[in-house]
């Protein structure tokens, strides 16, 4: 998937270091096709490695994909920052969830924190190894009523797939929430599984991987909702501005 058709349509930046060994990356082509066939949305996806994320401002949606450790932590963090500040629809899954939290903690909360997988020698960690690794597991996610994720799923809970061993250090949960981030989904152990930012057109991140749901031929509701938000962004951006004269 390249830059073909980049002059028009709904442009989605797939930020991640593409690899055939990452299951979610392998699923992306079929999910993009499913969005066309089942949801009537025609995305123009463009893969962007984390060490080359220039031009993100021109996209209608930014999806920060799994596949950590990334080649460039700063690039992953930048993707989340651009989406947040430019009000571009954003989806972060697995490592994307982790690095969205890292961006928010550093740039909104002013915290000097690190990801334990990326900087094991750092002093303060925002992301730490989970007490029980979720890699290769499924688990129930309880969703907070009235939140974006609960409206998307349409149920108080959902069973989701993980390939993940790092999560939010609960010590920092209150600080992030105090600066506006909402933790809208939790595992049965109480650990954070979903975070979202109210007031943003679409800003959602999940520790679970919605791209692994089913056989890849039917988009998870989270992916469909993200694509719909990106489509709305593209439509709004393309709409002519009426003269006030």
% of residues, the chain, pLDDT over 90: 82
**How does residue 157 score in pLDDT terms, banded at 50, 70 and 90?**
very high
**How does residue 39 score in pLDDT terms, banded at 50, 70 and 90?**
confident
Q: What is the pLDDT of residues 41-63, one digit of tens each?
A: 989 999 999 999 999 999 999 99
pLDDT at site 243:
44
Query: How many independent structural domains does the chain possess?
Result: 1
Rounded to the nearest angstrom, the gap between the alpha carbon of residue 141 and the centroid of all alpha carbons in its chain is 16
Burial 62-73 (b: 16+ CB within 10 A, else e): bbbbbbbebeeb
Quick check: is 146 in a domain?
Answer: yes
User: Is residue 193 predicted with pLDDT exceeding 50?
Assistant: yes
- In this structure, what CATH number is given to the domain that contains residue 74? 3.40.50.880
Quick check: is 223 in a domain?
Answer: yes
CA distance 39 to 118: 37
Quick check: is 36 in a domain?
Answer: yes
Domain with 171 in it:
10-238
């Amino acid at each position: 998937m390249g830059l073909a058709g980049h002059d028009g349509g709904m442009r989605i930046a797939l930020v991640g270091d593409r690899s055939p060994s990452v299951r979610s990356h392998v699923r992306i082509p079929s999910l993009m096709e499913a969005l066309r066939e089942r949801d009537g949305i025609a995305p123009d996806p463009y893969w962007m490695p984390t060490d080359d994320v220039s031009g993100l401002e021109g996209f209608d949606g930014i999806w920060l994909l799994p596949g950590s450790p990334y080649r460039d932590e700063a690039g992953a963090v930048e993707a989340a920052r651009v989406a947040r500040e430019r009000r571009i629809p954003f989806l972060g899954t697995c490592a994307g969830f982790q690095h969205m939290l890292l961006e928010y903690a550093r740039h909104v909360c002013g915290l000097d924190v690190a990801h334990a997988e990326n900087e094991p020698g750092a002093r303060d960690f925002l992301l730490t190894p989970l007490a029980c690794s979720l890699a290769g597991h499924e688990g129930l996610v309880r969703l907070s009523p009235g939140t974006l994720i609960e409206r998307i799923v349409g149920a108080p809970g959902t069973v989701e797939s993980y390939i993940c061993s790092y999560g939010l250090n609960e010590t920092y949960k209150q600080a992030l929430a105090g600066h506006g981030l909402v933790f809208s989904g939790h595992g049965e152990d109480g650990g954070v599984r979903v975070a979202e930012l109210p007031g943003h057109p679409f800003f959602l991140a999940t520790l679970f991987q919605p791209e692994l749901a089913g056989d890849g031929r039917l988009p998870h509701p989270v992916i469909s909702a993200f694509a719909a938000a990106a489509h709305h962004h593209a439509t709004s951006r393309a709409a002519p501005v009426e003269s006030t004269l």
